[in-house]
């Protein structure tokens, strides 16, 4: 079986071999059946007619005899002529037996019957005519002996050799048993060939499939340099070739990705260098401005008008805000650059720690922190701490004007992924601006109302993104705000 063909060809081949097998079985079995049939037909034509021939001929002979006797008894010449028909009847019966009787025996019987009939006719005619004579009894005796001869010939012709019949039946039985054997062997050979062909095909299929399985497994592991062994020339082989083409494309893409990754790494290094110089070089002039303003106030404050002193105060305040901005920007960029390790983090504990930090920094504030349930997440501990520092810091800030300030940290686990939340009963915000919350430098409150850099929630958003999660906020002016976020499923955190 040639495996280098399509499944259609293979299917046709299997069907062909199967059809051939059935044809063979059918042909052989009909051939051997015909032999048996011939044997039976021979028995039918050769022996069966003879079984009925004897009694029939005897009956015909008796009728003929009675015909003569009746005609003589009735002195009826016309009835005597009727015996011709009865003789013909006898001959018809003999003819009907056909080839089953020996031709010579048949001829002898005919002649003997003729002899008998001729004499019986003559004797009967003379008896009807009322002849009496010396010759008559002798003729009657002659007639009787001829009748006996006919009867004897009938017996001989119709006789059947039982041994011969038995042999014929035995031959039939032998042919029948031989036919059975032939049929059995042909069936075995046919089904065997079909089985062999099918097994060959299955073996080829299994080999192709296992080559494909191994190949796809290595592709799945990202080993794009591996190639799948192409077995045969069927659809599976085509699949293997296509997969190899795909692997080639993937290899190219992988190399391309490697180059891009390298470029990205160098960009990241540049970004890092940039952040570093931002940290150093932008803060240094601020220190100068702040330091000299302070020195000016200290050394020449007495000589300066009140307005000038106020300006100097504003200058130093501005340097503080600028320093905060730089720090916030740095922490935002740190979120992007930081390494990512996912581990179980008890957000409740982190929230307590952040809250105690906030209490230390603002000892005059009374804020209640409520932990709802077991708030354990899978994520990067440092990033999640930065996230809660920002969210709790915001909540802390925006509840400054509330008497019973309360911040709730919890989780809703009824959905497919846990949804964590930080809720406060502070100033809230207008939902119309909800989409602006997470963009850098976007603020919903005046600096004079609540201080801030506008970078905290951008940092939070980036932390959630690095976890493969989502964050959204709900709130209303004067009715507090709720920040909800997910931290992705079991997938790794993604880069910037």
| From candidates 279, 325, 376, 381, binder to other proteins by CB under 8 A | 279
276 binds other proteins (CB under 8 A): yes
287 binds other proteins (CB under 8 A): yes
Beta carbon of residue 419, minimum distance to other proteins (angstroms, whole number)? 31
Beta strands 405-412; 419-424: pairing state:
antiparallel
Beta carbon of residue 324, minimum distance to other proteins (angstroms, whole number)? 9
Neighbours of 107 (CB within 10 A): 10
| Region binding other proteins by CB under 8 A among candidate stretches 48-56, 259-267, 291-299, 340-348 | 291-299
286 binds other proteins (CB under 8 A): yes
- Chain-centroid distance, C-alpha 124: 99
Beta carbon of residue 288, minimum distance to other proteins (angstroms, whole number)? 4
290 binds other proteins (CB under 8 A): yes
285 binds other proteins (CB under 8 A): yes
Beta carbon of residue 318, minimum distance to other proteins (angstroms, whole number)? 11
Question: In terms of CB distance, is 162 or 280 closer to other proteins?
Answer: 280
Beta carbon of residue 302, minimum distance to other proteins (angstroms, whole number)? 17
| From candidates 319, 394, 399, 408, binder to other proteins by CB under 8 A | 319
Question: In terms of CB distance, is 258 or 496 closer to other proteins?
Answer: 496
HEC profile of 320-342: HHHHHHHHHHHHHHHHHHCCCCC
Burial of 375 (0-12, 13-18, 19+ CB in 10 A): buried
Q: Which two tokens stand for residue 311?
A: 């300006």
Question: In terms of CB distance, is 88 or 273 closer to other proteins?
Answer: 273
Beta carbon of residue 343, minimum distance to other proteins (angstroms, whole number)? 18
316 binds other proteins (CB under 8 A): yes
| Region binding other proteins by CB under 8 A among candidate stretches 116-124, 290-298, 416-424, 428-436 | 290-298
320 binds other proteins (CB under 8 A): yes
| From candidates 103, 284, 302, 306, binder to other proteins by CB under 8 A | 284
Question: In terms of CB distance, is 281 or 303 closer to other proteins?
Answer: 281
465 binds other proteins (CB under 8 A): no
Q: How far apart (Å, rounded) are the C-alpha atoms in residues 493 and 469?
A: 9
- Contacts with other proteins by CB under 8 A: the residue count is 21
294 binds other proteins (CB under 8 A): yes
Chain position carrying tokens 């110089």: 277
| Region binding other proteins by CB under 8 A among candidate stretches 35-43, 101-109, 197-205, 288-296 | 288-296
Q: Which residues have a Cβ under 8 Å from the Cβ of 371 and sit 6 or more positions away?
A: 348, 351, 352, 408, 409, 410
Beta carbon of residue 372, minimum distance to other proteins (angstroms, whole number)? 32
142 binds other proteins (CB under 8 A): no
296 binds other proteins (CB under 8 A): no
In which order are the strands placed within the sheet that holds 481-485?
367-372, 405-412, 419-424, 481-485, 471-475
300 binds other proteins (CB under 8 A): no
The dihedrals phi and psi of 480, each to the nearest 5 degrees, come to 85, 175
Beta carbon of residue 298, minimum distance to other proteins (angstroms, whole number)? 9
Question: In terms of CB distance, is 66 or 287 closer to other proteins?
Answer: 287
Question: In terms of CB distance, is 108 or 296 closer to other proteins?
Answer: 296
478 binds other proteins (CB under 8 A): no
280 binds other proteins (CB under 8 A): yes
Beta carbon of residue 379, minimum distance to other proteins (angstroms, whole number)? 19
The dihedrals phi and psi of 25, each to the nearest 5 degrees, come to -60, -45
Beta carbon of residue 452, minimum distance to other proteins (angstroms, whole number)? 18
Provide the sign of the torsion angle of the four alpha carbons 222, 226, 231, 233, taken in this order. positive
Question: In terms of CB distance, is 312 or 471 closer to other proteins?
Answer: 312
User: Cα dihedral angle (275, 279, 282, 285), rounded to 10 degrees?
Assistant: -160
323 binds other proteins (CB under 8 A): yes
Beta carbon of residue 287, minimum distance to other proteins (angstroms, whole number)? 5
Q: How far apart (Å, rounded) are the C-alpha atoms in residues 63 and 59?
A: 6
Q: Which residues have a Cβ under 8 Å from the Cβ of 425 and sit 6 or more positions away?
A: 399, 402, 404, 405, 406, 479, 480
Question: In terms of CB distance, is 218 or 294 closer to other proteins?
Answer: 294
Q: How far apart (Å, rounded) are the C-alpha atoms in residues 270 and 411?
A: 39
309 binds other proteins (CB under 8 A): no
Binding site for other proteins (CB under 8 A): 276, 279-281, 283-288, 290-295, 316, 319-320, 322-323
């Amino acid at each position: 079986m040639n495996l280098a063909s399509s499944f259609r060809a293979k299917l046709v081949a299997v069907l062909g071999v199967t059809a051939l097998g059935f044809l063979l079985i059918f042909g052989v079995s009909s051939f051997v059946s015909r032999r048996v049939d011939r044997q039976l037909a021979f028995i039918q034509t050769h022996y069966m007619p003879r079984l009925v021939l004897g009694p029939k001929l005897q009956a015909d002979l008796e009728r003929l005899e009675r015909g003569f006797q009746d005609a003589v008894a009735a002195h009826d010449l016309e009835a005597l002529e009727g015996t011709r028909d009865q003789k013909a009847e006898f001959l018809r019966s003999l003819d009907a037996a056909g080839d089953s009787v020996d031709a010579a025996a048949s001829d002898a019987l005919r002649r003997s019957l003729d002899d008998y009939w001729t004499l019986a006719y003559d004797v009967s005619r003379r008896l009807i005519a009322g002849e009496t004579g010396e010759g008559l009894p002798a003729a009657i005796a002659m007639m009787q002996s001829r009748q006996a001869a006919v009867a004897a010939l009938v017996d001989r012709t119709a006789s059947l050799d039982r041994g011969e019949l038995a042999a014929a039946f035995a031959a039939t039985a032998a042919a029948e048993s031989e036919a059975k054997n032939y049929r059995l062997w042909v069936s075995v050979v046919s089904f065997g060939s079909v089985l062999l062909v099918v097994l060959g095909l299955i073996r080829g299929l299994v080999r192709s499939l296992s080559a494909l399985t191994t190949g796809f497994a290595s592709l799945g592991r990202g080993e794009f340099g591996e190639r799948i062994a192409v077995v045969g020339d069927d659809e599976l082989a085509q699949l293997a070739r296509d997969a190899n083409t795909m692997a080639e494309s993937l290899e190219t893409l992988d190399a391309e990705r490697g180059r891009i990754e390298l470029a990205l790494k160098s960009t990241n290094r540049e970004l890092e260098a940039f952040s570093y110089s931002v940290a150093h070089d932008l803060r240094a002039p601020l220190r100068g401005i702040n330091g000299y303003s302070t020195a000016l106030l200290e050394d020449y404050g007495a000589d300066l008008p009140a307005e000038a002193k106020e300006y100097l105060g504003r200058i130093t305040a501005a340097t503080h805000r600028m320093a905060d901005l730089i720090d916030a920007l740095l922490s935002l960029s740190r979120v992007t650059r930081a390494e990512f390790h996912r581990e179980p983090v008890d957000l409740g504990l982190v929230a307590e720690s952040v809250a105690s930090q906030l209490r230390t920094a603002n000892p005059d504030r009374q804020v209640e922190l409520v932990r709802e349930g077991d708030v354990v997440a899978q994520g990067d501990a440092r990033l999640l701490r930065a996230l809660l520092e920002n969210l709790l810091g915001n909540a802390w800030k925006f509840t400054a004007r509330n008497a019973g300030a309360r911040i709730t940290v919890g989780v809703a686990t009824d959905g497919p992924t846990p949804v964590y939340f930080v809720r406060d009963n502070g100033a809230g915000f207008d939902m119309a601006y909800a989409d602006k919350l997470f963009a850098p430098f976007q603020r919903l409150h005046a600096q004079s109302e609540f201080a801030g850099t506008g970078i905290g929630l951008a940092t939070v958003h980036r932390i959630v993104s690095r976890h493969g999660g989502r964050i959204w906020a709900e709130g209303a002016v004067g009715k507090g705000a709720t920040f909800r976020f997910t931290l992705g499923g079991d997938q790794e955190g993604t880069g910037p």
